[in-house]
Structure 1
Amino acid sequence: MGKGARKKGPKADRKQKKVRDVFVAQPFEGLAAEPELIALREFVPSATARLSLIDSPDRTVTMGTVLPMAAAAFVRNDGEVFVGMQVQTRSSDISRDLGRSLRWALRAETGDVLSAPDTTGEPADGERLQDLLVAGAQLEVELHQDFSWWLPEDTEATGDVALSLERANAAIMPTERLGNGLYWVDAGDKAHLRWVRPEPEGRLLQALARLSANGEIGLGEGTRYAGSFRAHGLLVPVWDLDAEAHAREWAEPAEQLGSRLDAALASLEDEPLNATERRARDGLLGRQLTLR
């Protein structure tokens, strides 16, 4: 070896294998359950849903909003397999993070815990949720009043799990599911309706603007369209509601609003926004936030 030559070591190899981390703005695109996945990731406190797997249709895997100590996945002592949506770390592609956690869970043994998803490994084929889940399958979401589903029946939490369970239960806001991606949330002084919509943002904003210009964007007396936030590529409109009314009292007004919104979306095919509706759209744009 010549005097000026340097031997390549592990550090040099790692530099050569540096992964290009490309941000995926709509990580759940192509899955019918996209609105529910976003809701479970962002604001639903305690809920579970069984996953429909492409290659393992007979395997039972449950997706949960939050797992003990915010773990990415674990296999309960009774053999039940869980994957967590709300975790502490993430890469530029949440679908890949969750897919890796799911693949780990399918190989794990009873009692195994994956504390954090793999967010640094080199991307490979077949590891995103779109590669692992049945694309057309909806999620049958089950809401819970607490996090007792972390444990098998007749099992008492101890140690760190007990502490994590206590903290998680204390943070729960009362939540009801009223439809696909549609949730009522009691935030204390007021209640909200949050609706993860599957339409492209621009088109949805136009439809909301048409409703707003016509005075049809509300849910009835005492309600107010509060604005919207972007979450993982989709828009989530939010309405302020009377906190004294029961969640189910909003089911019918929400259904009627959905019908008006569908009609507005359809009308855009032949009727572009007029000047009043464009001003309404500009006003709606001013009340947006983005959640990555």
Structure 2
Amino acid sequence: MGKGARRKGPKKDRKPKVRDVFVARPFEGLAAEPELIAMREFVPSATARLTLAGERDRSVTVGSVLPMAAAAFVRTDGEVFLGMQVQTRSSDISRDLGRSLRWALEAEPGDVLSVPDTTSEPVEGERLQDLLDPNAELDVQLHEDFSWWLPEDTEPTGEVALSLERANAAIMPTERLSTGAYWVLAGEKAHLRWVWPADENRLLQALARLAAAGTLTLGEGTRFAGSFRAHGLLVPVWDLDPEAHAREWIEPAKELGTRLQEALESLDDEPLNAAERRSRDGLIGRQLTLR
């Protein structure tokens, strides 16, 4: 060994560090992606059972929003709830939810996690993709109020009662038409908001193909209003007749979904023609802000 050389000690095993980077499409890889985005962004009162990965036998319910916008809680009867609509977030919403889910699985009845952990160093195995069955879809159940926050035959008190009253007052009538597709009556207007798990550019082209053909509607009295981005996906929106009941749009939505899927598949063989490209340019300018 030469003069001044330092003897190297034994190498220490180091866990690979997970980089903290912004994840634009946090639910990618999960079959439940469209429903998770809908519950996160615009569905008012809804619940669904989660299918955990592995041999876990614990039952967990994901809810659109929990009391006081909590990240998770264990109801006094032992039911575990994970909240989608919370006040804080990190660069990776899937990681936030995964951490809240892991907390809930170890919590006791009555425990509440007010906010998700958004500050700890990222580690492997803590995202929803690591904790849920990736192939399981969500059977979303819509509710007219937030009485599901409490066990049956329980009267709310204190802050929970106030939060329940405010939450109930803010609910807009909403119905689920199909996977990721929700009818909502917003005051004097009715809309269809549809979360499509497709690449944004390809979906935009497919929408343009239907627009150029005059088939980007659900029938007479409806129109394509525009689209907005949500967690890496494009969400098209249609204006509907507010006098019609939600169930009247189930079949037209199914037919529109078939046309849109066919348009997506046709893009592999037929690039957009001039008229369709003009339609696409027009659609790009019709971005909405969801309120």
Q: When the two structures are superposed, what TM-score results if normalisation uses the length of structure 2? A: 0.92
In the TM superposition, residue 267 of structure 1 has moved relative to its aligned partner by 1.2
Note the residue ranges of structure 1 that are not aligned, 5 or more in a row: 1-18
SS of residue paired to 2:214 = coil
1:155 corresponds to: 154
Q: 1:32 and 2:17 equivalent?
A: no
Q: Deviations over 1:246-282 (max 9, x none)?
A: 0000001101101111111111111100011000000
Which ranges of structure 2 fall in alignment gaps of 5 or more residues? Answer: 1-17
CA positional deviation for 1:40? 0.4
> 1:23 Cα shift?
0.9
Say which SS state the counterpart of residue 251 (structure 1) adopts: helix
Q: Distance in 2 between matches of 1:22 and 1:264?
A: 34
* Amino acid corresponding to residue 203 of structure 1 in structure 2: R
Note the aligned Cα RMSD (angstroms): 1.4
Aligned to 1:189: 188
Question: Structure 1 residue 289: deviation in Å?
Answer: 4.4
Work out the percentage of aligned pairs sharing the same amino acid.
80
Question: Alpha-carbon deviations, 1:91-143, whole Å to 9, x = none?
Answer: 01000000000000000011100000000000001100000000000001110
Q: Distance in 1 between matches of 2:110 and 2:203?
A: 45
Residue 206 of structure 1: aligned partner:
205
- 1:56–1:106 CA distance, 2 compared to 1 (3 A): farther
Task: Name the counterpart of 1:145.
Answer: 144
Instruction: Answer yes or no: is the 8 Å Cα contact 1:231–1:290 preserved in 2.
Output: no
Distance (Å, rounded) in 1 between the aligned partners of 2:274 and 2:38: 34
* 1:93 corresponding residue in structure 2: 92
Structure 2 CA distance for aligned equivalents of residues 98 and 289 of structure 1? 27
Match of 2:8 in 1: none
Give the match for residue 47 of structure 2: 48
2:60 aligned residue? 61
Post-superposition shift, 1:55?
3.3
In 2: Cα distance, 1:123 partner to 1:57 partner? 23
Aligned to 1:217: 216
What is residue 8 of structure 1 aligned with on the other side? none
Alpha-carbon distance in 2 for matches of 1:95, 1:266: 29
CA distance in 1, matches of 2:52, 2:262: 35
Deviation by residue 1:221-264 (Cα, 9 ceiling, x = unmatched): 11010000010000100000010000000001101101111111
**Structure 1 SS opposite 2:88:** coil
* CA displacement at 1:285 relative to structure 2: 0.4
Separation of aligned partners in 2, 1:165 and 1:275: 53
Deviation per residue, 1:24-56 (Å, 9 max, x gap)? 000000000000000000000000001101134
How many residue pairs get aligned? The number is: 274
Structure 2 partner of 1:170: 169
CA-CA distance at 1:21 after TM superposition = 3.9
Give the alignment's TM-score, normalised by structure 1.
0.92
The answer on 1:75 being equivalent to 2:74 is yes
